A = this chain, B = another copy of it.
Amino acid sequence: MTAPFRIAIAGLGTVGSGVVKALTARGDDLSHRAGRALQITAMSARDKARARGFEITGWRDDPLALADSDADVVVELIGGEEGIARDLVERALAAGKHVVTANKALLAKHGLALAKLAEDRGVSLKFEAAAAGGIPIVKVLREDLIAHGVDAIKGILNGTCNYILTEMEASGRSFAEVLKEAQAKGYAEADPALDVGGGDTAHKLCLLSSLAFGTAPDLAHVAVEGITHITADDIAFASEFGFRIKLLGVARRVGDKIDQKVHPAMVRARAALANVPGAANGVLVDAGEAGSFFFSGRGAGEAPTASAVIADIVEAASDGDQPSPVFGRPAAGLAKLAPADSKAGVSPWYLRFEVLDVPGVLAAIARHLADAGVSIESMIQRGRAPGEPVAIVMITHETAQGAVERALKVISASDKVRSRPCMILMES
C-alpha cells in the first residue's frame, strides 16, 4: 500500500459529522477500496466545543489553515458562494491539494474558474454531494451516460420543496402552514427563500447541465420560479386531473443551445418523478439513443450527503496522478452553449384565476386568451360562498409559454381579477 491519504475537513455540521462518523466506522473497508489508508489529519469548524459524538483531530481555529496543512484532500463543507468557502477551495487547489465539496452555490458561480485551477494544478475537484445528495448523479453524468450524449435532464433536486408539496397534497393545507411545520421540524431553514424560491434547484441544475452538455455552469441563464405561489387549490385541481405538482429543474438541448429552467410543473401521477416522496430527490436523464434513465433516493441529510462526500474522497485517493476533468471534459474546452429561448417551448398549461363573481368576467378572460392565440382544452369553475372570489381553472392546448404570459398580463390588469393568475406547465 502507498502512503496514507490525509484528509482535512472544514465544517463539522450535519454533513461533516456524518463524514467523520462513516470514515471512523468503516475506515478499513473504505481504505481497502481506496488502495491506501484514509486518515483524517485536520479539522476546523465554527465551534470547537460543540458536542459531536467524535474526537477532534488536528484542530485548526482558522479553516484557511487547512489549505496549508499536510492534507492530501481538503473537504469543504462550510457552504456559501463567497467568503471562507471560496477562499479555502481556491487556496487548497492552488496548494496542489485535492478538494471535495458539497457547495453547489460556489460551483454554480465559480465552477469554471475553479475547474481550470484544479486542472492546472493536476488535482481533483469533486462535488458529488452538491447535487441530489446520495444519488450519484454527478458521476453518472460525468462518467456513465456519455456515449450517446444527453438530450435532457429533469430533476426534483430540492428536498424541502418536495417535502412541502407532498405534505400539501397529503393534508390539503396551505403552503404557509406546511412551511411553518417544516421549519419547526428542521426540514426547512429559518430563511427558506433559497429553497422555496427555486434558487437552490437552479444551483444544482446548472452543475448537472455543465456535466451533461459540456458547457460552463451558467447560473445567469437559468430561469427560476419557486413554489411560494402554489395554493392548496392548485394541488387539489392537479390531483383531480391525475397530476401532481413538483418543483423541477429542467435542462434541455435545443439545437446548439440549451434551455435551463426551474419551475413547478404538473407531472402525471404515474410518472416516476411524481412518485418521488417526501424529502427525496429524483432525476430523469434522457440519454439519446440509450434511452431514459431514472435515479432516485435521499437528496439531503447526514448519511446520504456524507455517502456522496466519501465516494469522492475514495475516488480522489485512488485516482493517482491523473485526476479526470472536473466537469467531465477539460475545463479549457467547455463550450459556451448559448441559452435557448425558454419561452418558445410549447406544452399544455394549467391556469387559475381568482375572479369576482360578476357577469362578463369569464367572457373577458376567454377573449384575452383567444386574442393571444391561447386555446382552451377544458375548464372548471367552482362556486364559492356569496361575495367570495371564484376560482376559474383552465387547461390550454399546447401553447408557447410566451403567448400564455402575454394573455395573463392583459388579464391581470382587469379589476375583476383578484391576485396574480397562476400558470403551471403540464407535462404532456
Binding site for B on A (CB under 8 A): 22, 26, 29-30, 32-33, 35, 128, 134-136, 139-140, 143-149, 214, 270, 272, 275, 287-298, 301-304, 306-311, 314-315, 318-322, 324-325, 328-330, 333
Contacts and interface: CB of A to CB of B under 8 A. Distances in A.
A272 B293 contact: no
A152 to B, nearest CB: 14
A32 B295 contact: no
Contacts of A325: 32-33, 35
Q: In the assembly, how many copies of this chain are there?
A: 2
B295 A147 contact: no
6 contacts: A29-B214, A33-B324, A135-B293, A140-B140, A287-B307, A318-B324
A292 B292 CA distance: 21
A291 B304 contact: yes
A139 B135 contact: no
Given A29-B146, A291-B304, 13 more contacts: A22-B148, A33-B143, A33-B324, A136-B143, A143-B311, A143-B315, A148-B307, A289-B302, A290-B298, A291-B303, A294-B294, A318-B324, A319-B320
A311 B144 CA distance: 5
Contact of A270 (B26, B275, B291): B275
A322 B33 CA distance: 12
Contacts of A149: 26, 29
A300 to B, nearest CB: 11
Given A290-B304, A291-B298, A296-B294, A33 B328 contact: yes
A135 to B, nearest CB: 6
A147 B22 contact: yes
A211 to B, nearest CB: 11
Nearest to A138: B144
B143 A139 contact: yes
Contacts of A290: 134, 297-298, 303-304, 306-307
Contacts of A298: 290-293
B292 A147 contact: no
A140 B148 contact: no
A162 B17 CA distance: 42
Contacts of A134: 145, 287, 290-291, 293
A145 B29 CA distance: 13
Nearest to A322: B320
A32 B320 contact: no
